[in-house]
Amino acid sequence: MRDELLQRYADLVVEVGANVQPGQIVSVQADTEAAPFARLIAASAYRHGARFVDPNYVDTYVKRARLEHAAEDTLDYVPPWYGERLLAHGEHHAARISIVPNPSLGILDGIDPKRAAKDALPFLPETFQVINARTTNWTVVAYPTAAWAGVVHPELDAEAALERLWQEVEHVCRLDEPDAGAAWGQQRDELRAVAERLTERHFDALHLEGPGTDLTLGLLPGSVWAGGGDTNADGIEHLSNLPTEEVFTAPDPQRADGVVRATKPLVLAGSTLEGLTVRFEGGRAMQIDADANAEVLRGHSELDDGAARLGEVALVDAAGRIGKLGTTFFTTLLDENAASHLALGNAYERSAPEDVERLNRSAVHIDFMFGGDDVSVTGIAQDAARIPVLRAGKWQL
Amino acid sequence: MRDELLQRYADLVVEVGANVQPGQIVSVQADTEAAPFARLIAASAYRHGARFVDPNYVDTYVKRARLEHAAEDTLDYVPPWYGERLLAHGEHHAARISIVPNPSLGILDGIDPKRAAKDALPFLPETFQVINARTTNWTVVAYPTAAWAGVVHPELDAEAALERLWQEVEHVCRLDEPDAGAAWGQQRDELRAVAERLTERHFDALHLEGPGTDLTLGLLPGSVWAGGGDTNADGIEHLSNLPTEEVFTAPDPQRADGVVRATKPLVLAGSTLEGLTVRFEGGRAMQIDADANAEVLRGHSELDDGAARLGEVALVDAAGRIGKLGTTFFTTLLDENAASHLALGNAYERSAPEDVERLNRSAVHIDFMFGGDDVSVTGIAQDAARIPVLRAGKWQL
């Protein structure tokens, strides 16, 4: 039963997520815990004509040993061949498939968060360069493990927790539909329609209001909203996130004022931040608080100038499958698609060419959720008119 | 019990095998099946002051999918960043630890050997370049898995087979000694003494005689015999093989005449060759036969000009721990240290500088065993005198 589901899931990742083309090199990045899924994806890619599958396993146990024992001034070291390999994937116009959570959840429990914040691997800053060059067709997908299921459903025994998590992933990936590929075609069309309507409004700013949240963030004159996947420079359509429920754009990094309260926990460098609030002035995060581990995000936000400014605002309505589950997955891929979110750090280049220079630049990109049924989103037009965008989780456009 | 042994083994690999130095980058290459051992080695390396551990997992299941599904004309493709990473380890003067068997034994059963011969990964031709530059301190070590134990001890049930294989590895790695590090110091001294005596003889050739074997192979005027580990360009002593029982040199690739019969099975590209015989004329392998799968070695021997000529002759006496076990491990690291052996393909640069140009060059290096108690080795001096070297497994020098 699980085997049959895993096989269909692997095929969906290859066909719809990355949309692997005959003759392509296919990078598969996975935690060692996800090896069973990586192997099925690799086999599916070869059946679809891949020239070479390049498995790239990341071992969270080795990362833990580093954080426990290595000298503190070495923890931010990344061998140059890590980024070079990723850039080579871009140069070879590879398909890229990343399996999350990575690092694996649970294995870094108890590590000093200040040390953990210094080691961003497996994340590489070159990721933005490759994504923005649009040379690869890529996707990020999730693989339920026992350890992850235990974090998500601690109230269940191990077997039941894993079964529940699998049911949820099957549902949100639309693998419970008779034709998952067709279901994703429909979802893609709907998200693209919403993104187009938002782009056409040319809002000057967005106003976010909810419990603990009152934030106005500026948009750039040429802001383009995206959603429902991407088409790369070679004309290959792909779903960068599988599942995806969001539409998003890059805000003006110089204009954000007010406070935003996260509505989901943020998992960062192995630490969980609950009750996160961020206060912005002039586009810059001036104050970061949380019930615990706030110092982890503070550390990240100090890594470079752009790390304390916004690189993304994404909107998710309440019709999506993820938010309805009411589950916190402690994994950005799923949680960010459950609710509207902001990201500190680097922007994806989705704006008009004249705005590209103004987008936020950073070595980091950290999403945190602010959305929910009690959070409203209002567009502020160039003439200062207030246009409802989201009310009680429903699109108003 | 096993945990305690594994921990001591990992420390031996780090301290005596690779001799990891504080501040070094440490490459750990392993099949995904060997992840538990790779993690202990990584943790030990960090405790010994490693700057960064670079785990490089190879997945034999992904290799199998490639051999099953990929187009035949793509099977010899190796992405350029594979070799570049290895060369970077050399440029960074890293420690390099390889865990074998890799690819994992058993997983490639039933694959067409002609297709298998085209995909040499995880082997990389750049290996010789890095070894001969002596920029890294490196070691090759073995990790018993259930699948490997089943191949080695098919007469035992799974648990007993794994237990037996662990006992054997513990013994041959001298982990059953009160101080394994001291035991390896003694073994190193003994092998170095034998190698020195062989070098001082300046033999013109060696004559191998035994059942099915009558081969004369020429040595170069400046042949230097090595054994008992290496000292790299930075003066770091390391045991390139753990365990090691051999002394070896690079022969004259233009002079080998006669026939040699292998005394152990050769495992190559996932195929097992039993009853291997190779006939040489003028240094070149002219005829390769075996009870089965001879075409796998024939395919490898045709890869380039040096692949059909000798790059190594190694002598092992009967006092070693591996040969006494009488076990065939189907893994070169252990089997080559059980018996004297030859290698087709690339030579390690152990000769006098004036001979380096004459050494065999190839993209491959394939060891096969010819030694045993009924195989004698005779040195032929420059004046044609015949000097006994090995008789009934005992050194005669």
> Which of A32, A46, A69 is facing B32, going by the closest CB pair?
A32
Contact A65 B39 (CB under 8 A): yes
Residue B380 has pLDDT above 90, yes or no: yes
pLDDT at B106: 79
Contact A39 B66 (CB under 8 A): no
pLDDT at B249: 95
Neighbour tally for B200: CB within 10 Å: 9
The partner residues of A20 in beta bridges, in order of sequence, read none
CA distance, residue A31 to nearest chain B CA (Å):
11
Residues of A in contact with B81 (CB under 8 A): 81, 84-85, 88
The partner residues of B97 in beta bridges, in order of sequence, read B28, B139
Structure tokens at A392: 């009680």
Positive or negative, the CA dihedral A377, A380, A381, A382 is negative
Chosen from B14, B29, B59, B115 to mutate, greatest number of chain A CBs within 10 A: B59
Structure tokens at B348: 């390690």
The backbone torsions φ and ψ at residue B54, rounded to the nearest 5 degrees and listed phi first, read -105, 95
pLDDT at B271: 80
> Which of A32, A43, A65 is facing B43, going by the closest CB pair?
A65
pLDDT at B1: 64
Q: How many angstroms separate the CA atoms of A233 and A242, rounded? A: 20
pLDDT at B303: 87
> Which of B46, B47, B57 is facing A57, going by the closest CB pair?
B57
Structure tokens at B292: 């089965």
pLDDT in tens, A18-42: 999 999 999 999 999 999 999 999 9
Chosen from B7, B29, B60, B66 to mutate, greatest number of chain A CBs within 10 A: B66
Q: How many angstroms separate the CA atoms of A338 and A340, rounded? A: 7
pLDDT in tens, A300-317: 899 899 999 999 999 999
pLDDT at B20: 98
Ordered strands of the B310-315 beta sheet: B226-227, B247-249, B310-315, B341-345, B365-369
Residues of B in contact with A55 (CB under 8 A): 57, 59, 62
Mean pLDDT to the nearest integer, B368-396? 95
Chosen from A27, A29, A52, A56 to mutate, greatest number of chain B CBs within 10 A: A52
Residue B284 has pLDDT above 80, yes or no: yes
Mean pLDDT to the nearest integer, B207-231? 94
CA distance, residue A42 to nearest chain B CA (Å):
6
Mean pLDDT rounded to a whole number for chain A: 94
Task: Write down the domain spans for chain B.
Answer: 2-143, 180-395
Residue of B nearest to A27 (CA): B79
Omega before B353 cis (within 30°)?
no
Residue A269 has pLDDT above 80, yes or no: no
Quote the radius of gyration of chain B (alpha carbons, Å). 20
Neighbour tally for B47: CB within 10 Å: 16
pLDDT at B267: 81
Contact A70 B38 (CB under 8 A): no
- Roughly how many angstroms between the first and final C-alpha of chain B, as a whole number? 42
Contact B39 A55 (CB under 8 A): no
Instruction: Report chain A residues touching chain B, CB-CB < 8 A.
Output: 25, 32, 35, 38-39, 42-43, 46-47, 49-55, 57, 59, 61-62, 65-66, 68-71, 74, 77, 79-81, 84-85, 88, 92
Q: What is the DSSP string of B338-377?
A: TS-EEEEEPPPS-S-GGGGGGS---S-EEEEE---TT-EE
pLDDT at A1: 64
Q: Which residues contact A32 (CB under 8 A, 6 or more apart)?
A: A57, A58, A59, A60, A61, B32, B35, B57
Cβ-contact A377, A340 below 8 angstroms: yes
Q: How many angstroms separate the CA atoms of B369 and A331, rounded? A: 53
Contact A47 B69 (CB under 8 A): yes
Cβ-contact B248, B239 below 8 angstroms: no
Contact A68 B88 (CB under 8 A): no
CA distance, residue B22 to nearest chain A CA (Å):
10
How many beta-carbon pairs below 8 A join chains A and B? 107
> Could you give the ipTM of this predicted complex?
0.89
For a pLDDT cut of 90, what percent of chain B falls above it?
A: 82
Pick the range with the lowest mean pLDDT from A109-113, B183-187, B224-228, B351-355.
B351-355
Q: How confident is the model at residue A363 (pLDDT cuts 50, 70, 90)?
A: confident
Pick the range with the lowest mean pLDDT from A243-247, A363-367, B8-12.
A363-367
Q: What is the DSSP string of A41-92?
A: HHHHHHHTT-SEEEEEEE-HHHHHHHHHHS-GGGTT---HHHHHHHHHHHHT
Top-tier CATH class for A2-143: alpha beta
Residue A167 has pLDDT above 80, yes or no: yes
pTM for this prediction:
0.90
CA distances from A172 to A105, A125, A183, A241, A366 (A): 20, 29, 11, 12, 22
Mean pLDDT to the nearest integer, A135-139? 98
Per the rule left: phi > 0, alpha: psi between -120 and 50, beta: everything else, A371 is beta
Q: How many residues does chain A have?
A: 397
Contact B52 A68 (CB under 8 A): no
Biggest distance spanned by C-alpha atoms of chain A: 58
Q: How confident is the model at residue A117 (pLDDT cuts 50, 70, 90)?
A: confident
Mean pLDDT to the nearest integer, A81-95? 98
pLDDT at B315: 96
Contact A52 B69 (CB under 8 A): no
Contact A59 B55 (CB under 8 A): yes
